[in-house]
A = this chain, B = another copy of it.
Amino acid sequence: MSVIAPAGFEAAGVAAGIKRTGALDLSLVVNRGPSHAAAAVFTSNRAQANPIIWSRQVILDGVVSAIVLNSGGANCFTGPEGFQVTHRTAEAAASALGVSAGDVLVCSTGLIGDQLDGEVLEEGVLSAANRLGADAAAGADAARAIMTTDTTPKTVVVEGDGWRIGGMAKGAGMLAPGLATMLVVLTTDAVLEASDLDAALRQATRVTFDRLDSDGCMSTNDQVTLLASGASGVVPELAAFTQALTRACEDLATQLQADAEGASHDISIEVLGAATEDDAVEVGRSVARNNLFKAAIFGNDPNWGRVLAAIGTTQAPFDPYLVDVSMNGVRVCHAGRPDRPRDEVDLSPRATHVRIELHAGEASATIRTNDLTHDYVHENSAYAS
């Protein structure tokens, strides 16, 4: 179902020939209206791909008719020629759909620094426009065509009160704050203005995708887009919509974490007792980015010393010698000293829970990450992406 679950949307996924393997590599999602309100958030990396530069302009007026996404090449650091390819992609979609190119978003993912072939993109867009559909197969193809090292497509549907949210995502590495090689398209048939979509999207991504930090590397191509057709005719409460949207994002984030490159553990780092929520996020992220901790979890080693060594590098106010650390329910460190024996901790399940109690306030946050594995090293050394 994915992006075509809400009324008013059509999609297609085709093999345009960008990937040498002949796999699906180009998606088109079209909003048939009656409304074309939209919002998007982008990577905070200053090194931004051409489709990001383009899409940032398109989204300014809050009106989007369609979005084209390709895998097989990031179109980043490819100079003015690269920008021309992005522009040509949008023009091709606009021409095929009878809309303005200024209302067409473009996303790309793949290797940085390689030129995409504009003609291949253009033909792919035309082919996709000819295959647009609102059936399950169309939604599934669109979700599959944006995959790179993903092993499975990621989709979501959340039911509202007379409206729906649908979504698809790709991303298996580079997940990081400010988002990462993560492309997400969310659709809804709820009736909402662009400014409300923007507020809801920022709130939802802040507590979901922004707290998924698989490998600390921030992408040049991240984009999370929300398109609203208004086709349900129902105007939702913004709070209820934001909650449903957050649930959709949370679900996709969980799928991204579960498919992270080479990972063998999905780690939730829950930080409690922080002075502020920002402090909790900073502390959790410092653990999520510590290679020694991540390698220990891969080895099923409840090495809590590496947790404390990591959080000691933060600026968050707390006393390291008051901190408690639990792993999978066993408190291995109490007040900065050894507590239960390490061998009581069972780290063999894929789901791993690290709980850090700072005793410095009432705020909390959970950061999600993955372990550092041989397969991660293999995928990212052997595969040029």
Contacts and interface: CB of A to CB of B under 8 A. Distances in A.
A74 B291 CA distance: 19
Contacts of A373: 377
A374 B374 CA distance: 5
Interface stretch (A87-95, A130-138, A211-219): A211-219
Given A113-B305, A305-B74, A46 B313 contact: yes
B46 A291 contact: no
A301 interface: yes
Consensus secondary structure, chain A interface: loop
A300 to B, nearest CB: 8
Contact of A291 (B45, B78, B215, B304): B215
B112 A381 contact: no
B217 A320 contact: no
A82 to B, nearest CB: 8
A361 interface: no
A305 B112 contact: yes
Interface in A239-269: none
A338 interface: yes
A295 B380 contact: yes
Given A47-B309, A374-B374, A380-B295, A304 B113 contact: yes
A363 interface: no
A303 to B, nearest CB: 6
Contacts of A5: none
Contacts of A34: none
A174 interface: yes
Interface residues of A, number: 62
A298 B376 CA distance: 12
Given A77-B337, A374-B378, A291 B217 contact: yes
A381 B79 contact: no
A76 B320 CA distance: 11
Nearest to A82: B337
Most B C-beta atoms less than 10 A away, residue of A113, A217, A296, A321: A113
Given A74-B305, A77-B308, A374-B377, 11 more contacts: A46-B320, A47-B309, A47-B320, A76-B305, A77-B336, A79-B335, A112-B304, A217-B291, A292-B380, A295-B376, A374-B378
Interface of A: 44-48, 74, 76-79, 111-115, 173-174, 178, 215-220, 289-292, 295-296, 298-299, 301, 303-306, 308-314, 320-321, 332-333, 335-338, 372-374, 376-378, 380-382, 384
